[in-house]
Amino acid sequence: MQTRGSISVIEVDSPPVNALSRDVRAGVSSAVVAANEDPDVVALVITCAGRTWMAGADIKEFGGPPLEPTFTRMIGVLDGSVKPIVAAVHGTALGGGLELALACHHRVAATGTVLGSPEIKLGLLPGAGGTQRLPRLIGPVAALDLILTARNVAADEALALGLVDAVVPSDELRRAAIATALEVAASGQPVRRVRDLSERIAPDAVPADLFTEARMNLSRSTPDLLAPQYCIRCVEAAVTMPFDDGVALERELFYELVDTSQSRALRHVFAAERRVKRPPGESASARDVQAVGVVGAGTMGSGIAMALADAGYRVHLVDSDRGALERSDTSAAARYQRMVGRGELSEAAARARRDSIGRSEELVSLRACDVVIEAVVERSDVKKALLRQVDEVLGADAIIASNTSTLDLDDLASVIGDPSRVIGLHFFSPAHIMTLVEVVRGRHTSPDALATALDMCRRMNKTGVVVGVCPGFVGNRMLLRRTAAADALLLQGAMPWEIDAALVSFGFKMGPYQMSDLIGLDVLWNRETTSSATIREVLCEQGRFGQKAGAGFYDYAESRRGAPSEQVADIVRGFARRSGQTQRAFGPDEIVDRLMAALVNEGAKLLDEGIATRGSDIDVVWVHGYGFPRHRGGPMFFADERGLDRMLASVEELGIPEQEPAPLLTRLVSEGGRLATYEPGVPSSG
């Protein structure tokens, strides 16, 4: 804290994002008290050093006992200030950071600032008075929008909303805030507290059906999530209750939410997504990559090319089939036009992005590339032949990446002169949309090739998760086990639609059989060798390839959603009978336990083998690549919440030879350890 003339400037400096930890709260509180007691001080300015204003409460503190001074106490100190306080905001003013600014009397923002209430992303609500002050300052409609969408608003929109009073160039922020403080102090007016505002919450200013409608929308969009429902109750209280009663309700509901499994799960995923950026033991720096080549203009190659172009790379897309190149150009052009239509891109930017993808039938066009990604057909012989050619064309330093999803990367790398520059970049379809990339570290992959691949993921706004080499890597290998567990349930009396319904009510967008019908059952079917040995073979033999054939595990005659099929039920019952296994009904919980147990058990094996680096990495793979519901935290986190002993029991019930209990799972059950925080060589926190 320093005093400029008669203005006290309180600067928070707590990198990396000035999170409002206990120490920061204590510092701000005592500085405000001191400034109010200092007769020379007429007004205060609060500002932050570094890249941003406070980006919220310190997430690491959640789940522990409330630490004094609490938010309520700190905000109370600001509320008690008789001298005007101006918040000088820059960077990302989020959550508790925004709430602190709302407890100040005036807000000046730097150009480029974003402001928001992202608490529901953590299964929480704005718990430092935000649900009561926001409606008073910007109206309940806008407040509800910000809180329920968790979207960030840019400074200009914040000015239009009345969330900030002025927007100034960054280098003028401190000066402008001090000038505002002096002006306000000189006006001799009493401080303008947001809590005292009432005009925008007056009954005639609030749409009568605002909260009913908000609840209806929620019941359609996210019926299972607690935090949004609690947020509506609080904002409604801002309109129906006195300020302090509203704050009391907010605090009560906040502390209820902070202990829920949903919030713990969402906080786990937040931390896990930051941890994957730092693979243990890796510290090499990424290379500067400008030009990237992609070989294969099929669905994956075209999607990868667009993801690279979106990130600003110069892209060289190569395919010996001119037709494929033209089709990929047409689909890229159509996509960019749709983005123009949605106002996401200008015409000029769309043209520039399209033009940033060069297309050629010649491999030599890749000569100047820093990185080349092959995305050709999933056949080892074809990939190896191509990689040999690429190796000859490229400079010695260039990195060679394979988008293989199942093949042995080390075997592919064996055809490259220097295998240390080979890495796997396993994108998920559609590659320009799906956020997950499994970054496959081969036996010889160099640290800087790995660092460069992770940096490319960061630039493409993808979540790169480092995995080792094995068939199916982390995601697909676990998926295979889940599919086998589901198929085993069919032989014990369950029906495909019962299994899907259980996973959908758990939070997945679709179950394994709906997924098979979407992808097409014939993708993995071999017409030559088919012998009615499995339910899937029989369905394919009957032409039930899935949605595209109008029938698969479901009938699609009536709707795209698919209806349970009596014909399929008969086929399933036939196989079940012939399996000689006891037939019985399975409830949704038991189905979920069985399928999760298959996932978790395989995940534990992947950790034991060092293919996965940490339990939380596996959760990131499933949340970003397989639609695992974020508010469930991922399979490993879910297992900890459900009880590893219960998971182990479900694994034993699977009775599938390849899925015997993983040693790690058995060990953690006996030690009382946790899978989600498990990291080989790092003591596990029970």
Active site residues: 99, 119
Question: Binding residues for ligand T1G, how many (CB under 6 A)?
Answer: 24
Measured CA to CA, the distance from residue 585 to residue 483 in angstroms comes to 19
**CA torsion, points 334, 337, 341, 345, in degrees to nearest 10?**
140
Q: Interface residues for ligand T1G in 112-151 (CB under 6 A)? A: 118-119, 122, 124, 126-128, 130
- Least distance from ligand T1G to the Cβ atom of residue 145, Å: 17
- Least distance from ligand T1G to the Cβ atom of residue 254, Å: 7
Per-residue exposure over 599-621, b if at least 16 CB sit within 10 Å of its own CB, e if not: bbbbbbbbbbeebbbbbbbbbbb
Is residue 678 within the footprint of ligand T1G (CB under 6 A)? no
Cα 54–chain centre separation? 22
Binding pattern for the stretch 234-273 against ligand T1G, x by CB under 6 A and - elsewhere: ----------------------------------------
Contact 42, 64 (CB under 8 A): no
Token digits for 594?
Answer: 């069985």
Helix, coil or strand: residue 191: coil
Contact region for ligand T1G (CB under 6 A) — 12-20, 181-189, 218-226, 311-319? 12-20
Residue nearer to ligand T1G on the CB measure, 59 or 484: 59
Residue nearer to ligand T1G on the CB measure, 60 or 509: 60
Residue nearer to ligand T1G on the CB measure, 14 or 492: 14
Helices then strands (H, E): number in the chain? 27, 19
Residue nearer to ligand T1G on the CB measure, 122 or 318: 122
Q: Could you tell me which residues come within 8 angstroms of residue 190 by beta carbon, excluding any fewer than 6 positions away?
A: none
Is residue 16 within the footprint of ligand T1G (CB under 6 A)? yes
Which position among 32, 44, 55, 178 is part of the footprint of ligand T1G (CB under 6 A)?
A: 55
- Least distance from ligand T1G to the Cβ atom of residue 397, Å: 29
Residues in the chain, total = 686
Contact region for ligand T1G (CB under 6 A) — 11-19, 387-395, 541-549, 625-633? 11-19
Measured CA to CA, the distance from residue 307 to residue 154 in angstroms comes to 25
Which position among 7, 10, 12, 19 is part of the footprint of ligand T1G (CB under 6 A)?
A: 19
- Least distance from ligand T1G to the Cβ atom of residue 625, Å: 20
The partner residues of 437 in beta bridges, in order of sequence, read 427, 464
Residue nearer to ligand T1G on the CB measure, 49 or 334: 49
Q: What is the 3-state secondary structure (H, E, C) of 367-426?
A: CCCCEEEECCCCCHHHHHHHHHHHHHHCCCCCEEEECCCCCCHHHHHCCCCCHHHEEEEE
- Least distance from ligand T1G to the Cβ atom of residue 15, Å: 8
Is residue 95 within the footprint of ligand T1G (CB under 6 A)? yes
Is residue 617 within the footprint of ligand T1G (CB under 6 A)? no
Contact 46, 10 (CB under 8 A): yes
Binding pattern for the stretch 270-289 against ligand T1G, x by CB under 6 A and - elsewhere: ----x---------------
Contact region for ligand T1G (CB under 6 A) — 38-46, 57-65, 560-568, 666-674? 57-65
Measured CA to CA, the distance from residue 653 to residue 64 in angstroms comes to 36
Residue nearer to ligand T1G on the CB measure, 128 or 538: 128
- Least distance from ligand T1G to the Cβ atom of residue 94, Å: 4
Residue nearer to ligand T1G on the CB measure, 266 or 470: 266
Q: Could you tell me which residues come within 8 angstroms of residue 174 by beta carbon, excluding any fewer than 6 positions away?
A: 9, 45, 47, 88
Residue nearer to ligand T1G on the CB measure, 457 or 596: 457
Which uninterrupted H or E stretch holds 314?
A: strand 314-318
- Least distance from ligand T1G to the Cβ atom of residue 658, Å: 37
Is residue 92 within the footprint of ligand T1G (CB under 6 A)? yes
Q: Could you tell me which residues come within 8 angstroms of residue 520 by beta carbon, excluding any fewer than 6 positions away?
A: 545, 546, 547, 548
411: nearest Cα among 375, 444, 439, 438: 444
Which position among 12, 29, 71, 105 is part of the footprint of ligand T1G (CB under 6 A)?
A: 71
Q: What is the 3-state secondary structure (H, E, C) of 217-272?
A: HHHHHCCCCHHHHHHHHHHHHHHHCCHHHHHHHHHHHHHHHHCCHHHHHHHHHHHH
Residues that bind ligand T1G (CB under 6 A): 16-17, 19, 55-60, 71, 92, 94-96, 99, 118-119, 122, 124, 126-128, 130, 274
